[in-house]
Structure 1
Amino acid sequence: MDFLKLVAISLAFWSGTLSIGEDDLVKDLPGLIFNVNFKMYSGYLNANQNGSWKMHYTLTESRNDPANDPLLVWFNGGPGCSSFAGQFEELGPFYVNKDGKSLYENVYSWNARANVLYLESPIGVGFSYDTNTNNYTYASDDQTADQNYAALKDFFARVQTKYQKRKFFLSGESYAGIYIPMLSARLVKGINSNDFPNPNFQGSAIGNGFMNVAYLQNSLILWSMYHGRISLDDWDDIKKYCRDDQTTDMDNVDFSKHFISTTNQIDYVSDNSRCGNLTAQWLILPDNMDQYNYYQDCYTGSSINVVNATVSSFTEKPEHAGKNFKRVFAGPRRFGLDPNTANTYNYDSTDNQWGYICWNEDALFKWANRRDVQKALNIDQEWQNRKDNDGKPFPWTDCNNALYDSYHLTYNTTNQFFDYVIKNVKTPNFRFLIYNGDVDTVCNYLGDAWHMRDVTNQNAFTSTPRDRWWFRDQVAGFYQRYTKQQITIDVLTVKGAGHMVPNDRPGPSMQMITNFMFPDTNGLVDYSSNQTADPTRKPADLLTTSTVLPTDSTTTNDAFARSLLSLLSLLVVLLL
């Protein structure tokens, strides 16, 4: 009898285990207009032990070989901005049309050869929520690291166990420059202590990372001077009043000591010193300039409107406060002439998206707040029932402004987390990729390069000469490689890209991240290689009747297995 009880319990457990991941399968994605050859999942992970923190995830499986390709985890920054937005506005396979009703293809999506997992972190962002607190808005660096570690552990151990032995990487942008080094250190510690269920952590990629506050501020002053923002007379005054010693090289001046944090250690103003008043003004761009891409213009008031550009009633705060730019765009003349928007892109030009980055936030806001979309994405009814202070349904938004306003940065530099990983990681050929669009003024390439030079010098890495990398026979940027034993750190620029690299340079970014995950036999990455990802991929065919996503034989077999196990479990119980 005891044996039969054990069998019943075991069968019930395995039946439940099989059902968890496949229950999150997205079967019908509203507005989809093109054929899809990969599966998508959307559901919730437990971000704490008692399950009161529900972290929303989506997973788009690889277009190539989902059973064997690595897992790439993506975080947006903010703090308080949504990785779901990153999926549909930047690197995912689905872009939202301007009407907010249909989804067309991002040909250069990052699931070319990766299963991409998007985590809406921290709790309170996007569709993630606290079951005990309505509209949760508290977050900190350490708490976010705890949540990310717990959610990723839950993903491998309970929700999507088929990935438990898969190679995986972390990736993200902006304030993920804090999240990712902290989580990387947590993972290395958890793997070494056998606490984390997947030991195959291979590395992390950080785009335009917020990793060292002083360096980002100091480098932005220099960047601004050499991009025409500061007059020669003002520069002479800066040299006069900001150097402690008149022989000090301007590259080594610490402008940041003349800045004071507003409250959160993220945003800064002048300390009212002469140097502070001269330089603090250059930490932000004027209104109607895009701090995310210095050369990006989004025009308004055009006579060629396709639809009204203003579709949401809220004002979106950029990822870093103090910058008042709002992307709004009227639409190009040829927009909408082809039923497949993906076919209207100019794939032979660096300006190939006809202003998508100028209007994608509003389009996604409309689409993501449709109840049929939320139902298709398995969004918890508890989240959908939330109300704001006026009793109105609380919408999904790109960024949680209240969470940002209450956030307080704890770590103004991430050296200690890189140091921990370097000293303790045991994975062969472990690597970091630090990439920057070179015209971003929020987290610029020079500050991140200084930071990583410190990290590598402190840990006795060997550097190689700076070199070019290529995309379709054009220089796509430059990189410098640091190596120590079996650890590699590549510091790379993406030419002409801003803060959101997958938006500004879709093709080069896809080639970059794919090659990062597929090094050569020596563990080194060739970012110019086109062997792992097609740089000239064409759009998929349009659908004719259905928006149903693939459900392959594996899914069918899992469903059959669940039914069989449930039946056997019931039979054993009846025999007791």
Structure 2
Amino acid sequence: MKKKLSLYAFLLNLSLLVLLPYSKATQADKLQDLILSKSSQKPPVTLSWAEEDALKTHSSAYVASQEGQKEADKIVALPGQPYGVNFDQYSGYVTVDPEAGRALFYYFVESSYNPSTKPLVLWLNGGPGCSSLGYGAFEELGPFRINSDGKTLYRNKYAWNVVANVLFLESPAGVGFSYSNTISDYEHSGDKSTAKDAYVFLINWLERFPEYKTRDFYITGESYAGHYVPQLAYTILVNNKFSQQNINLKGIAIGNAWIDDVTSLKGIYDYIWTHALSSDQTHELIEKYCDFTSENVSAICANATRTAFEENGNIDPYNIYAPLCQDSSLKNGSTGSVSNDFDPCSDYYGEAYLNRPEVQLALHAKPTNWTHCSDIINWNDSPASILPVIKYLIDSDIGLWIYSGDTDSVVPVTSSRYSINTLKLPIQVPWRPWYSGNEVGGYVVKYNGVTFVTVRGAGHLVPSWQPSRTLTLIFSFLHGSLPPTSPWKGFCGTWKPIGITPLSNWEVE
């Protein structure tokens, strides 16, 4: 029997049809596919699954010997990397299920400054089914960006490995270079299995890199990682109670995160109207005839929501003020520096680079037809809301930040605010601007258990569009302090210049 789509699924289909003018699977596409696959039945979210699994299986959780693997995973040099790389890089596979032959691919960069004193940060991209290597590592917060020739790299002076040791994971199996020898695994992907595999990955990776076992650990991510990150954090906390594998989890940060279906969807329509992308008349019809919790879609609501996005025109929904990619061909020139003028054609450079045989060899990856987002994964479970998990994490007293680039219409700032407001948390520090360098970087409000931060002028891929501001944000998050209250004033003292690059070459007195 064909499943009936609920209203939020139908409307989300319309809301995410505004795509970039080329045929590529993106994080927005994968999120659309997921919501459309949901039926009108929205079972309540329960938090028992991880605890039950931990009680049943923690004594037999798969942990393999990792002897010699760290040395084998060390990258000598990436093809085309610039001169003067001053940090170690590693990449390879960690088996999470030997019977199924399921293995997850990682890329790890140690900090370029005193790595032994820095925390460990895990980054996850969303989708579901999109790569943390292609997006996070090579377009957002990693140490390198890919030049327009698709062959060479240049340094990202605002890379997060300035302030942390950063681990990128392609998850679940079937994404990027991660794989399974059991094809049916791709048909049974979902939130629960992804969290379990990521947990098994971590405990085995820490066996491979034992110096990080006691290090402060943080999980970060964006988009559908609004599910991945809280669920993995929950899995870690539960297993810490029942197993001998203790992961020193200190906090999580999720950006432009899909948290709750109903509030996120309402936030999309309110955002496009308040940002002059749809008309007053259309928005009035949506307000009057669309109930985002109902199961039935009226004809008036359906027409109004369709019209709302037709009125947007041909724009990039990831960043409504950004230029579109006009020429996807590779060029002979090179960019050579990271600025706020992010190249909208970067996806093409990344796909060309990561499919080069010499690059896959250097990464210790299996020969793969690599893509940013996987088309072979069938998603089976996704709760309508992740708010119950977030409530659990708040009660667990770990750091919890939600940040939002304010020019994204795919998972906009209004969606994040509506989701947080559902929690009805007391405010500890009222809304105020924060600074990166001499400019307002965004706005912040601290609730009891959640810190919400906006990043001014950033799209869906926040570190891509505002790298300097995002580095200020992540530095603050890792130090457990709110971002600076005034130009060049830090939360632990005064910014002290040790070079010419804002923040990435600055330290706190």
TM-score grouping bracket, smaller chain normalisation: 0.7 to 0.9
Structure number with bigger Rg = 1
CA-to-aligned-CA distance 1:425-477 (integer Å, 9 cap, x gap): 26xxx21110000111111111112212223x2xx544331011001111111
What's 1:477 paired with?
442
CA shift, 1:531, in A, is 4.3
Structure 1, unpaired ranges of 5+: 1-15, 243-253, 260-270, 302-308, 312-330, 385-393, 541-576
Q: 2:501 aligns with which of 517, 524, 537?
A: 537
What's 1:415 paired with?
387
Output the CA distance in 2 between the equivalents of 1:33 and 1:420.
44
Output the CA distance in 2 between the equivalents of 1:81 and 1:452.
25
What's 1:38 paired with?
87
What's 1:246 paired with?
none
CA shift, 1:421, in A, is 2.0
Matched position secondary structure for 2:392: helix
Q: 2:255 aligns with which of 183, 196, 207?
A: 207
Matched position secondary structure for 1:465: strand
CA-to-aligned-CA distance 1:344-368 (integer Å, 9 cap, x gap): x5x5xxxx33x42x12111111111
What's 1:310 paired with?
329
Asked whether the 8 Å contact 1:217–1:256 carries over to 2, the reply is no
Output the CA distance in 1 between the equivalents of 2:129 and 2:70.
27
What's 1:27 paired with?
76
Q: 1:289 aligns with which of 315, 320, 328?
A: 315
CA-to-aligned-CA distance 1:253-312 (integer Å, 9 cap, x gap): x435367xxxxxxxxxxx3431232125546885742111111112526xxxxxxx336x
Q: 2:407 aligns with which of 431, 439, 445?
A: 439
CA shift, 1:80, in A, is 0.6
Asked whether the 8 Å contact 1:258–1:275 carries over to 2, the reply is no
Asked whether the 8 Å contact 2:74–2:89 carries over to 1, the reply is yes
Output the CA distance in 2 between the equivalents of 1:536 and 1:412.
47
Q: 1:496 aligns with which of 457, 461, 472?
A: 457
Matched position secondary structure for 1:32: coil
What's 2:34 paired with?
none
- Provide closer, same or farther for how the CA distance between residues 280 and 138 of structure 1 changes in structure 2, counting only shifts above 3 A: farther
Output the CA distance in 2 between the equivalents of 1:135 and 1:364.
27
CA-to-aligned-CA distance 1:152-205 (integer Å, 9 cap, x gap): 12111x22111111001000000000111111111111112234332x210000
Q: 1:373 aligns with which of 348, 359, 375?
A: 359
What's 1:193 paired with?
242
Q: 1:114 aligns with which of 155, 164, 184?
A: 164
Q: 1:526 aligns with which of 455, 458, 483?
A: 483
- Provide closer, same or farther for how the CA distance between residues 146 and 532 of structure 1 changes in structure 2, counting only shifts above 3 A: farther
What's 1:75 paired with?
124
CA-to-aligned-CA distance 1:238-260 (integer Å, 9 cap, x gap): 44434xxxxxxxxxxx435367x
What's 2:292 paired with?
255
Count of residue pairs the alignment pairs up: 432
Matched position secondary structure for 1:233: helix
Q: 1:229 aligns with which of 259, 277, 286?
A: 277
- Provide closer, same or farther for how the CA distance between residues 202 and 233 of structure 1 changes in structure 2, counting only shifts above 3 A: same
Output the CA distance in 2 between the equivalents of 1:471 and 1:453.
26
What's 1:175 paired with?
224
What's 2:417 paired with?
449
What's 1:341 paired with?
336
CA shift, 1:131, in A, is 2.3
- Provide closer, same or farther for how the CA distance between residues 214 and 36 of structure 1 changes in structure 2, counting only shifts above 3 A: same
Mapped pair 1:218 → 2:266: yes
Matched position secondary structure for 1:491: strand
Matched position secondary structure for 2:469: helix
Output the CA distance in 2 between the equivalents of 1:283 and 1:20.
50
Output the CA distance in 1 between the equivalents of 2:178 and 2:336.
31
Output the CA distance in 2 between the equivalents of 1:453 and 1:539.
32
What's 1:397 paired with?
371
Q: Which amino acid aligns with 1:221?
A: Y
Asked whether the 8 Å contact 2:394–2:450 carries over to 1, the reply is no
Out of 463-472 and 36-45, give the one that drifted further: 463-472
Output the CA distance in 2 between the equivalents of 1:90 and 1:21.
25
- Provide closer, same or farther for how the CA distance between residues 538 and 451 of structure 1 changes in structure 2, counting only shifts above 3 A: closer
Normalising by structure 2, report the TM-score: 0.79
CA shift, 1:410, in A, is 2.1
Structure 2, unpaired ranges of 5+: 1-64, 505-509
State percent identity of aligned pairs: 31
CA shift, 1:340, in A, is 7.2
CA shift, 1:95, in A, is 0.8
CA shift, 1:63, in A, is 1.1
What's 1:517 paired with?
478
Q: 1:146 aligns with which of 196, 214, 219?
A: 196
What's 2:324 paired with?
298
CA shift, 1:34, in A, is 2.8
What's 1:361 paired with?
347
Output the CA distance in 1 between the equivalents of 2:260 and 2:499.
34
CA shift, 1:409, in A, is 4.7
Asked whether the 8 Å contact 1:76–1:173 carries over to 2, the reply is yes
- Provide closer, same or farther for how the CA distance between residues 283 and 376 of structure 1 changes in structure 2, counting only shifts above 3 A: same
What's 1:319 paired with?
none
- Provide closer, same or farther for how the CA distance between residues 232 and 419 of structure 1 changes in structure 2, counting only shifts above 3 A: closer
Q: Which amino acid aligns with 2:482?
A: V
- Provide closer, same or farther for how the CA distance between residues 18 and 144 of structure 1 changes in structure 2, counting only shifts above 3 A: closer
Asked whether the 8 Å contact 2:115–2:165 carries over to 1, the reply is yes
Asked whether the 8 Å contact 2:148–2:335 carries over to 1, the reply is no
Output the CA distance in 1 between the equivalents of 2:145 and 2:118.
23
